[in-house]
Structure 1
Amino acid sequence: MSADPTTADLSPKSALRWKIAIFAIFLTSGLSIATWASRVPAIKDALGIDNTQVGALLMAAGVASILGLSLSSPVLARFGARRGMLVMMLTFAAGTALVGVGTDVVGSYPVVLAGLVLFGFGNGCLDVMMNVEATAIEQLGGKTILPLFHAFFSFGTVIGAGVGAGAVGLGLNVFAHTAAIGVLIVVIAIAAIANVPMRASVDPDPAEHGAGWRQRLALSLSAWREPRTYALGVVMLGMAFAEGAANDWLALGIVEGHGGTEALGAVGLTVFSVAMTAVRAFGGPLVDRFGRVAMLRVLALSAAAGLTLFILAPNLPLVLVGAALWGVGASLGFPLGMSAAADDPAKAAARVSAAATIGYVAFLAGPPILGVISDRIGLLNTLFVIVALTIASGFASGAARPLTPTGR
C-alpha cells in the first residue's frame, strides 16, 4: 500500500485487506451491542435499579446513537473515514469499559449512563461511516455485498451473546467482562484501520479543504432536501420496524398470543434470526441477478405475508413458518437502502446518514410505540401495523433504482 493510497490505487491484495477490515468493523459493532445487552440483568442487580431506570439507560443510549448518526456526515466530511472510524471505535470501546466501571468499581448509575452515552454515540456515528465504506467496496467490486457486511454485524451479535452467556456462567462481573471486550475492540480497531485506504472515494477531496466548515456542513445536510432520501427512508423505516418488532415482541407474541411456552418463544426468535442472517449472507448474488427494486418488493411481500401468517396461524408450526418468512422479508431492506443511498460517491455520506437516521429512529422508537398500542388492542393485532409498513416499504422500493454517479 502506498503512503497515501486511494481506492483507485489499490492492488487486489490491498482491496481484499480493506474488505476484511470493514467486515471486522461490522462484526465488532455487533459484538459491542450484544456485550451490553447480555449484562443488563447483572447491571440492574448490581446497581439496585428498577425497570424505569433501566429504560432511562436504554433511552440515553438510543438518543446518543441518533445524535451520532446525525453528526456522522459532517464528521466524515471533516476528518475522513479512516480517522473518523478509529476515533468512534475508541469512543465506544471506552464507553463499554466505563459501563463496567460504573457497575462494579464505583457503583454509580451516572457513570453507567455516561458510558452508554459514549457507547451509543460512537456506535451510531460509526454505523454510517462503516456503511459508506462498505458501499465504496461494493462499487469497486461491482457486486452486491453490503448484505454480507450486515451479516457480519449479526455474527458479531451472536458471538457477543455467546461470550456474555459464558461470562455469566464463569461468574465474571460486569467490569471484568466489559473491560476485556473494550481492550479487544481497541486491538481490532487499530488492526482494521491500518488496512483502510488513507482516502477512500467517499472522503473529502483535498482540493475542497479550503472550503469553510459551514459550507461543508451545509453540503453534508443537503440530502435532507432530496425527495429520494425520504422514499428510501420509507423503505428502511418499514424494514427497521419489522426487525425491531421481532427482536422485542416476537417471542412474547408466541407466548401470549398463541399460548406457546417461553422455550418455544425463544425458538421462534431463533428461527427469525437465522432466516434473516442467512439471506443477508447469501442474498447478494440474487440482488445482482434480479435487481434491487425487484428484490425489495419480493422481500416486502415476504415480510407482510410472514407477519400475517404469524398473527393468524391456527397452530404453532405455522407460526414458526410465519416467523421464518418474516425474517427473510426483513433481511435486506436496511442494507439495500444503505446501498441505494450511497450510489453517488460524491454525496454518499450525507445520503446514508439521512436515510440511516430515519431507519434507526424507527428501529429504536418503534418497539416502545408498539408496546403502548398493544396495551389497547392486543399484541398480535398491533403487528398489523408492521404489515402495513412493510407494504408501504414495497411500494416505495422504486426509489432504490441505481443512480448514475456525479462528479465532485
Structure 2
Amino acid sequence: MTAPSESTAAAGARPGATERAGALAARNAVFAVFFVSGLGLASWVARIPAVRDSLRLDTALVGVLIFGLSAGSVLGLGAAVRLLDRFGAPRAMTISISTSAIGLVLVGFGATLLLSAPLVFAGLALVGLGMGSLDVMMNVEGAAVERTIGRTLMPLMHACFSLGTVVGALIGAAASALSVSVFWHLLVIALLAVATVVVAVRSLPEAQVTPAAGPANASGGQGAPRSTWRTRLAASLSVWTDGKILLIGAIVLGMTFAEGSANDWIALASVDGHGLSNTGGAIVFGVFVAAMTVGRVLGGPVIDRFGRVPVLRACAVVGVLGLLLFVLATGPWMLYGGAVLWGIGASLGFPVGMSAAADDTENAAARVSAVAMIGYFAFLVGPPVLGILGQAWGILNALYLILGLMALAGLAAPAARERHRS
C-alpha cells in the first residue's frame, strides 16, 4: 500500500526538480552572456592605446571614436524591447552578439589593415548597437531568473560581466606585449563570443517579452500575446513620469559614468598622465575591472545584510577617494590603490539600479530599459566630454568631472530602497 503513495510523491516531486533544473540552466546561460559581453567590451578597451597609435589620433579624436560606441549603444537600448518581443530572448541575444562581433572585426580591420578612422567609428557603432540591446536583454532575463530562484543574483550576474572584462583585459595586455595585431586579436574574440552565446541561449525559455508585461511565461511557456506598437510606445513613455525611476536613473547615471570613464580612459590616462607603457596601461585597466568583479561578487551578501541605500552611499564615498588617489598618484601604490577603490566604488551602482527598477514586475522590461537608457546617457556624453576636457586641461584633470556625478548617485541612493525592507 505504501508503494503507490511513494510513487505518487516521487512523481509529484519531479516537476519541481525539473523546474529548478531549468531555472539553474537559465541562470548559467545568463551568467555566460554577461561574461561574453564584458569580454567583448574589454577586448576593445585594452587596445585603445594601440588603435590611437596606429591611427595617430589625439585625445579629442579618440573621444569622437568612442562616441560611436556610445551612440550605437543608445540605439541598441531602444531596439532591445522590440527585438525581445519579436524574436524571444534566445534569438534576440544571438542577433545582438552577432552584430557586436561584426563590429569588432571592422574595428580591427580599420585599425590594422586599412588605417581608417571612419571604419573604426562604424565598427564601434555596430559594437555598441549589439552590446546596448544585449544589455537590456540580459538584465531583463536576469531579473526573471532572480525572481524564479528567489535569491539576490543580479550583482553576481554583473560580476560575470566584470570577470569577462578581467579576462578581456588580460588577453588584451598579452596581445599588446606579444605585438599581436588588433585585427587578429578582435577577430578571435568575436568568433569566441558568438559561439559561446549560441550555445548558452539554448537554455533560455522562448517566452516573449513585452514592454507592458515584462517577461512573460518566465518558466518557458509559449503563446504569450505579442503587444502592438502603440502598447509598447505607451508603456515605454509611461515610465518616464515615475519620479522613483528617474532617481534610480540618477544613481545609475553617476555610477555608470564612473565605470564607463574607466573603461574608456583609465588605460590612456595611465599612459599619458602617469607615463606607463601601453602594456602597463592595460594592466591598470585590468586592476580596475578586477576590483569591480570582487565588489560585485561580494555585493549581494553585503546588500542583504545592510540594505541597498547604505551600501550605495558607501560605494560613492569609496569611489570618490579612489579617483582622488588615481589622479593625484605620485607612486605606483597610489595609482593601483586608486584604481582598486575606483573599481569597488563603481561596482554596484548599475546592478542595484537594475534590481530596483525590476522590483515592480509590472512593466518590468520598459522600466529596466528606461533606467538602462539613463545610465547609457553617460556612455553617450562621457567620451567626447572627457576627450575635449582632456585635450584642453589634461586627461587626469578631466576625471574630476566624475566626482560630482558619484556624489549625485550617493544623494539619490534612497530611491533604490527595497520595497519590503523594514
Instruction: Give the TM-score of the pair, scaled to structure 2.
Output: 0.79
**Is the alpha carbon distance of 1:290 and 1:200 closer, same or farther for their aligned partners in structure 2, counting shifts above 3 Å?**
farther
Inter-partner Cα distance in structure 1 for 2:377 and 2:23: 33
Deviation at 1:81, TM superposition (A): 2.3
Q: 1:186 aligns with which of 181, 191, 194?
A: 194
**Is the alpha carbon distance of 1:310 and 1:222 closer, same or farther for their aligned partners in structure 2, counting shifts above 3 Å?**
same
Q: Does 1:294 align with 2:296?
A: no
Q: Show the counterpart of 2:276.
A: 262
Which moves more between the two structures, 230-239 or 296-305? 296-305
Which moves more between the two structures, 144-153 or 306-315? 306-315
Q: Does 1:78 align with 2:94?
A: no
Q: Show the counterpart of 1:203.
A: 215
Q: Does 1:87 align with 2:101?
A: no
Inter-partner Cα distance in structure 2 for 1:303 and 1:231: 19
Which moves more between the two structures, 132-141 or 172-181? 172-181
Inter-partner Cα distance in structure 2 for 1:312 and 1:34: 25
Q: Does 1:129 align with 2:137?
A: yes
Deviations 1:307-331 (A, max 9, x none): 4565678877566545433332211
State whether residues 306 and 321 of structure 1, in contact with CA within 8 Å, keep that contact through their aligned partners in structure 2.
yes
Deviation at 1:24, TM superposition (A): 0.9
Inter-partner Cα distance in structure 2 for 1:314 and 1:178: 34
State whether residues 150 and 280 of structure 1, in contact with CA within 8 Å, keep that contact through their aligned partners in structure 2.
yes
Q: Does 1:24 align with 2:32?
A: yes
Helix, strand or coil for the counterpart of 2:88?
A: helix
Q: Which runs of 5+ in 2 are unaligned?
A: 1-14
**Aligned residue identity for 2:78:** S
State whether residues 237 and 363 of structure 1, in contact with CA within 8 Å, keep that contact through their aligned partners in structure 2.
no
**Is the alpha carbon distance of 1:282 and 1:216 closer, same or farther for their aligned partners in structure 2, counting shifts above 3 Å?**
same
**Is the alpha carbon distance of 1:21 and 1:374 closer, same or farther for their aligned partners in structure 2, counting shifts above 3 Å?**
same
Q: Show the counterpart of 2:152.
A: 144
**Aligned residue identity for 2:406:** T
Inter-partner Cα distance in structure 2 for 1:39 and 1:125: 23
User: Aligned runs of 1:222-233 on 2, under 5 Å?
Assistant: 222-233=238-249
Equivalent pairs, count: 395
Deviation at 1:136, TM superposition (A): 1.7
Deviation at 1:68, TM superposition (A): 0.6
**Aligned residue identity for 2:363:** K
**Is the alpha carbon distance of 1:173 and 1:309 closer, same or farther for their aligned partners in structure 2, counting shifts above 3 Å?**
closer
**Aligned residue identity for 1:279:** G
Inter-partner Cα distance in structure 2 for 1:372 and 1:54: 10
Helix, strand or coil for the counterpart of 1:230?
A: helix
Helix, strand or coil for the counterpart of 1:198?
A: coil
Q: Which runs of 5+ in 1 are unaligned?
A: 1-6
Deviation at 1:367, TM superposition (A): 4.8
Q: 2:291 aligns with which of 271, 275, 281?
A: 275
Q: Does 1:212 align with 2:228?
A: yes
Q: Show the counterpart of 1:304.
A: 320
Deviation at 1:121, TM superposition (A): 0.4
Q: Show the counterpart of 2:350.
A: 334
**Is the alpha carbon distance of 1:171 and 1:390 closer, same or farther for their aligned partners in structure 2, counting shifts above 3 Å?**
closer
Q: Show the counterpart of 2:7.
A: none
Deviation at 1:85, TM superposition (A): 1.2
Deviations 1:231-274 (A, max 9, x none): 011111111222234445557777888xx653787776555433
State whether residues 80 and 203 of structure 1, in contact with CA within 8 Å, keep that contact through their aligned partners in structure 2.
no
State whether residues 145 and 284 of structure 1, in contact with CA within 8 Å, keep that contact through their aligned partners in structure 2.
yes
**Aligned residue identity for 1:137:** V
Q: Show the counterpart of 1:350.
A: 366
User: Aligned runs of 1:101-116 on 2, under 5 Å?
Assistant: 101-102=109-110, 111-116=119-124
Inter-partner Cα distance in structure 2 for 1:376 and 1:53: 13
Deviation at 1:364, TM superposition (A): 4.2
Cα-Cα RMSD:
3.5
Inter-partner Cα distance in structure 2 for 1:330 and 1:57: 24
**Aligned residue identity for 2:291:** A
**Aligned residue identity for 1:57:** L
Which moves more between the two structures, 216-225 or 332-341? 216-225
Deviation at 1:336, TM superposition (A): 0.5
**Aligned residue identity for 2:123:** G
**Is the alpha carbon distance of 1:348 and 1:59 closer, same or farther for their aligned partners in structure 2, counting shifts above 3 Å?**
same
Instruction: Give the TM-score of the pair, scaled to structure 1.
Output: 0.82
Q: Does 1:155 align with 2:146?
A: no
Inter-partner Cα distance in structure 1 for 2:180 and 2:402: 39
Inter-partner Cα distance in structure 2 for 1:107 and 1:266: 22
Deviation at 1:132, TM superposition (A): 1.3
State whether residues 90 and 189 of structure 1, in contact with CA within 8 Å, keep that contact through their aligned partners in structure 2.
no
Q: Show the counterpart of 2:260.
A: 244
Helix, strand or coil for the counterpart of 1:262?
A: coil
**Aligned residue identity for 1:213:** W
**Aligned residue identity for 2:42:** A
